[in-house]
Amino acid sequence: MKIGITCYPTYGGSGAIATELGIELAQRGHEIHFISYAQPFRLPHFMERVYFHEVETTRYPLFEHNNYSLSLAAMMHEVATRAELDLLHVHYAIPHATSAWIAKEMLGDRHPLRIVTTLHGTDITLVGQERSYFDITRFSIQKSDGITAVSDYLKRETVDHFDVAGDSIEVIHNFVDPELYRRGSHPCRKDTFLRPDEMLVMHVSNFRPVKRVQDVVRIFARIHKSVPSKLIFVGDGPERPVATAEAEALGITDRVIFLGKQDSVAELLACADLLLLPSASESFGLVALEAMASGVPVVSSNAGGLPEVVEDGVTGHLGSVGDVEAMAEAGISILKDNQKWVRMSVAAQKIASERFGANVIVPQYERYYERVLADAPAAAPADVPLMAAAGDD
Ligand code: GMT
């Protein structure tokens, strides 16, 4: 198949999944065209059958606000035509599904391009439910030929709030490459940060309010009272000052390290003893899965799709949002009991690979694409030009 993929290319779970999906599909023989404003951050080097089409927005004095959605639609139309795409797979509804619909309308029945939209989280739970975006989000989802959601929870949210029939949404969970996260394959330089008797507690996110980084510090402060340990924050974002201030207020600044944005999360997770993810909302929680693949037990909230990822008592523990006391107790119970830690670490790696490994999940996307394409109408007769204004002459 020839597949166009559009995603947010910078840091974030939806961009990570979209990019890794493209790479996996290319390795399975498909031709992949990434269409976005920057090269996806997890696309490290040249790969066979992988192309990148950069979307540039036109600068013109009248355009005080940039027209990214339109530039994206124009590029989608161009790439679909020139590369003869079968399918456009867009990640995150707004504005990607809207731009894809415009591109498809421009192509008309000359080229029956199919659109698959993957809903990732805040496109449904936050942004899409904001009054001004609601109607266009619903319209764009409903105009897609196929819709996937990354958890049962997100599917339910979409059905409940956007009037989309449940049977038109396919749940395809996030995935990991277990090889990439294999704990033993990364050298762990724990002694850079810790004394030999200290445990490493980690949090990885984009520090948005939904991640509740203040709770991360509060949970850690309680853990630290019982278990010699340090907290490492990986990532950056608007709530970083809140986390810094909380660490100062609790008198533990010397115990908390902010590493900032990092490319190689697998390397860092290979050193961690516990991941904290007390989010207010999380459609799936890709970082929890990455931690599990690295053999790291997870203590998280039970919000959204997290219970579909973290099995309470098996691969970690779940607590109610804001219940820092319970989450700290859960963390202490894991870190203080080596047998329990080993049991959870082994179970986490097994579940990450057997239930959420790329070999399990990527074929689900392939089968879904085939179903969507099987429903496609036939193309119009070939005497109609493929591109109205190709500008090749
Ligand atoms: O929806 C977002 O917050 C953005 C998105 C991203 O790009 O990081 O994150 C979401 O998508 C991930 C990949 O599917 C999920 O694992 C995250 O749980 C989800 N984030 C939230 O729901 C807050």
Same domain, 225 and 146: no
Q: Please state, as a whole number, how many other Cβ atoms lie within 10 Å of the Cβ of residue 367.
A: 12
Q: Which tokens go with 143?
A: 């105009």
Look at ligand 1, atom 17, and give the residue with the nearest C-alpha.
285
Same domain, 163 and 217: no
d(CA 217, CA 223) in angstroms, rounded, equals 10
Burial of 180 (0-12, 13-18, 19+ CB in 10 A): middle
Tell me the pTM. 0.92
d(CA 158, CA 160) in angstroms, rounded, equals 5
DSSP letter (8 states) at residue 88: E
Examine residue 95 and say whether the peptide bond preceding it is cis (omega within 30 degrees of 0): yes
Pocket test for ligand 1, best of 284, 292, 310 (most atoms within 8 A of CB): 284
Q: Which tokens go with 357?
A: 């490994």
Residue 379: predicted pLDDT: 67
Q: Which atom of ligand 1 is nearest to the CA of 287?
A: 16
User: Ligand 1 mean position to 12 CA, how many Å?
Assistant: 7
Residue 392: predicted pLDDT: 38
Same domain, 250 and 305: yes
Residue 58: predicted pLDDT: 76
Same domain, 98 and 151: yes
Residue 185: predicted pLDDT: 85
Q: Map residue 131 onto helix, strand or coil.
A: helix
d(CA 323, CA 80) in angstroms, rounded, equals 49
User: Ligand 1 mean position to 211 CA, how many Å?
Assistant: 11
Same domain, 218 and 300: yes
Same domain, 20 and 146: yes
Our answer on whether the CB atom of 122 is closer than 6 Å to any ligand 1 atom is: yes
d(CA 209, CA 108) in angstroms, rounded, equals 42
Look at ligand 1, atom 21, and give the residue with the nearest C-alpha.
282
Q: Map residue 81 onto helix, strand or coil.
A: helix
Residue matched to tokens 């989450």 = 327
Same domain, 101 and 248: no
Residue 382: predicted pLDDT: 53
User: Ligand 1 mean position to 287 CA, how many Å?
Assistant: 10
Q: Please state, as a whole number, how many other Cβ atoms lie within 10 Å of the Cβ of residue 177.
A: 18
Same domain, 37 and 16: yes
List all residues 6 or more positions away from 40 whose beta carbon is below 8 Å from its beta carbon: 7, 9, 15, 18, 19, 22, 34, 52
Q: Which tokens go with 57?
A: 């927005």
Residue matched to tokens 């000052």 = 241
User: Ligand 1 mean position to 75 CA, how many Å?
Assistant: 25
Residue 106: predicted pLDDT: 95
Q: Map residue 319 onto helix, strand or coil.
A: strand
Tell me the CA end-to-end span of the chain in Å, nearest whole number: 29
Same domain, 318 and 367: no
Q: Which atom of ligand 1 is nearest to the CA of 126?
A: 1
Range of the structural domain that residue 210 is part of = 178-355
Residue 344: predicted pLDDT: 98
Identify each DSSP E strand in 152-260 by its residue range.
169-171, 199-204, 229-234, 256-260
What does the DSSP assignment read for 31-74? EEEEEESS--TT--S--TTEEEEE--PPP-TT-SS--HHHHHHH
Same domain, 55 and 191: no
Same domain, 365 and 351: no
Which candidate, 288, 250, 284, places its Cα nearest to that of 269?
Answer: 288
Q: Which atom of ligand 1 is nearest to the CA of 283?
A: 22
Same domain, 256 and 207: yes
Edge-to-edge strand list for the sheet holding 256-260: 256-260, 229-234, 199-204, 274-277, 298-301, 316-319
Listed as ranges, residues in the chain with pLDDT below 50 are 384-393
List all residues 6 or more positions away from 323 whose beta carbon is below 8 Å from its beta carbon: none
d(CA 278, CA 292) in angstroms, rounded, equals 16
Task: State the total domains in the chain.
Answer: 2
| CATH code, domain with 27 | 3.40.50.2000
In this structure, are residues 319 and 278 in contact, taking their beta carbons and an 8 Å threshold? yes
